[in-house]
């Protein structure tokens, strides 16, 4: 099958022919229909997060089940599915206490020494984040995907696999935004726009979008923002404090920088919660003023929106089909796998929301 392979940090992906195995007892073979191009992939390409190479990248995807293992019970051949990197075992302490997105059990991966799921003519190939979806097929654990209704367009469903779930989940699960509360979102890329959309769905009273690109003003309002701050024009913390008369209840950092994480914390009202969604590079620190904690302000991380994806994702699909979830507006470009490096070049400009690789294009 054709796949986009990262062989060296700092280099473009290479389109190669690789081989994929047969499903084991709890595994599913999926024909990939679409894969979103996420900023997380770029972090690994640039070496900001280490990962064993070579690897087939991609982790935000949807497709159709082609084969299932002998013990698979959650999906069947012909099902349309969304994949999720939050593969869960279902029996560890994290899963049993309702924190499926934090599961790290090795049970969802093949045992050490077993035949790898992906290989190439030059040797073994590493599977990326349980998925490796920049490829025509995926071989994954059954608990890394969920079946959805078949009238849902798969190119839009793919976005739910990471960015949408991360953004909306941070709002409704990690921070528990309540109707009427105030929200600020720093960074209006795919994840930030999803957080804005999630805040609107949750009934937030005021949603302040913050970005350094003025082009994100109108776009963020399409997703539910009530206000927009161009951070290039001045201190966004001071502007938020003035606009709200003391700060917001919830802030969401969707860029992945120490500076913006600090801003997210500093723009809180007393009792507020800052949520770091972005992937801050390894080794980068965040500095906070200690006295601020006397106002019961909190800062916390959010991993994949604290999701329960087998429940959440079908509901997000229903939100889209009923017009509440904005996915059409999020897709800036559809492209072929051979154009994958163009998508990352465009991502670096900060002018687009999401590119999607479509495998029947």
Question: Which residues are tagged catalytic?
Answer: 38, 40, 43, 59, 162
CA 304, CA 308: separation in Å to the nearest integer?
10
3-state secondary structure of 218: helix
Decide: residue 48, CB within 10 A, 0-12 exposed, 13-18 middle, 19+ buried.
Answer: middle
CA 340, CA 312: separation in Å to the nearest integer?
29
Other residues' Cβ atoms within 10 Å of the Cβ of residue 186: 31
Inter-helix orientation angle 236-244/258-266, to 10°: 20
3-state secondary structure of 132: coil
Strands 2-6 and 14-17: antiparallel
DSSP string, 301-341: E-SGGG--HHHHHHHHHHHHHTT-S--GGGEEEEE-GGGHH
- Show the tokens assigned to 274: 């800052």
CA 170, CA 153: separation in Å to the nearest integer?
24
Q: Give 114's contacts (C-beta < 8 A, 6+ positions apart).
A: none
Among all chains, which residue has been given the structure tokens 């499903």? 23
Q: Which residues pair with 29 in a beta bridge?
A: 67, 139
């Amino acid at each position: 099958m054709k796949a986009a392979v990262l062989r060296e940090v700092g280099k473009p992906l290479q389109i190669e022919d690789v081989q994929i195995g047969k499903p084991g007892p709890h595994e599913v073979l999926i024909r990939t229909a679409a894969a979103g191009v996420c900023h997380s992939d770029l972090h690994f390409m640039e070496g900001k997060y280490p990962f064993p190479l070579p690897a087939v990248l991609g982790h935000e995807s949807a497709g159709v089940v082609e084969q299932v293992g002998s013990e698979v019970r959650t999906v069947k051949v012909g099902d349309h599915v969304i994949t999720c990197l939050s593969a869960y075992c279902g029996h560890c302490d994290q899963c049993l206490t309702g924190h499926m997105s934090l599961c790290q059990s090795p049970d969802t991966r093949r045992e050490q020494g077993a035949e790898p799921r992906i290989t190439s003519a030059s040797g073994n190939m590493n599977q990326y984040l349980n998925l490796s979806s920049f490829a025509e097929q995926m071989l994954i654990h059954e608990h890394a995907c969920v079946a959805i209704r078949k009238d849902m367009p798969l190119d839009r469903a793919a976005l739910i696999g990471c960015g949408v779930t991360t953004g909306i989940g941070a709002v409704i699960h990690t921070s528990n935004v309540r109707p009427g509360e105030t929200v600020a979102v720093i960074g209006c890329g795919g994840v930030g726009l999803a957080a804005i959309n999630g805040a609107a769905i949750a009934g937030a009273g005021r949603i302040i979008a913050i970005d350094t690109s003025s082009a994100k003003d109108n776009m963020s309002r399409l997703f539910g923002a009530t206000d927009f701050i161009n951070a290039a024009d001045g201190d966004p913390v001071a502007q938020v404090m003035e606009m709200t008369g003391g700060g917001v209840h919830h802030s969401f950092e969707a860029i992945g920088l120490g500076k913006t994480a600090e801003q997210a914390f500093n723009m809180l009202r007393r009792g507020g919660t800052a949520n770091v969604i972005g992937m801050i590079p390894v080794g980068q620190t965040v500095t906070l003023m200690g006295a601020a904690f006397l106002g019961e302000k909190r800062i916390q991380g959010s991993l994949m929106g604290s999701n329960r994806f087998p429940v959440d994702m079908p509901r997000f699909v229903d939100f889209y089909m009923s017009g509440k979830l904005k996915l059409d507006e999020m897709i800036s470009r559809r492209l072929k796998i051979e154009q994958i490096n163009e998508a990352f070049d465009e991502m670096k400009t900060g002018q687009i929301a999401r590119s999607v690789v479509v495998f029947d294009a």
